[in-house]
Amino acid sequence: MSRIGKKPVTLPSGVSASLSGQTIEVKGPKGTRSFSATDDVTIAVDDDKVSVAPRGNSKRARQQWGMSRTMIANLITGVSEGFKKELEITGVGYRAQIQGNVLKLNLGLSHDVDYQAPDGITITAPKQTEIVVEGIDQQKVGQVAAEIREWRKPEPYKGKGIRYKGEFIFRKAGKKK
């Protein structure tokens, strides 16, 4: 039995869900998202709850049960609150700034890095050493944050680079005489 799948997902106020076949569409104050479940699960929308149940007892049905419930919960969280990833920049001369929809990064390279924010994603730089990526799609927010971090990953000797807020970087000792 799936411990996650058994729990119904509650719809907060201001969020509505509609079901057509195996596709559930969730509307909220931040936007609209939809998810198409496989035929191995049954989705039911009640007044303020969405529940998922497996069809049969096969291994695939049990796998899809918890995953489908989590996907629906993420849709509801995205349209009501949204998702956010925070990045920190560490290093002398490393900085970020926003110009319109483009993130400009100075990372010690011979050129500045210009990152165009995709649709549905908002990138802000409250300080020169902080970047905040926000959106209603958790996968897209994580992907954009990973692409920004990829330009200059934190290195283990001085810790310079772009890291997630609160990320621990294992530090190495330098040369010893």
Give dist(CA 8, CA 45) in Å, integer: 10
Give dist(CA 123, CA 103) in Å, integer: 7
By the 8 A CB rule, do 162 and 155 touch? no
Residue 176 lies in a domain: no
pLDDT score for 1 = 61
Residue 177 lies in a domain: no
Helix and strand numbers, DSSP H then E, in the chain: 3, 13
Would the pTM of this model clear 0.85, i.e. be above it?
yes
pLDDT score for 177 = 80
Q: What is the CATH number of the domain that holds 152?
A: 3.90.930.12
pLDDT score for 126 = 94
pLDDT score for 42 = 92
Q: Which domain holds residue 17?
A: 3-80
pLDDT in tens, 118-143: 999 999 999 999 999 999 999 999 99
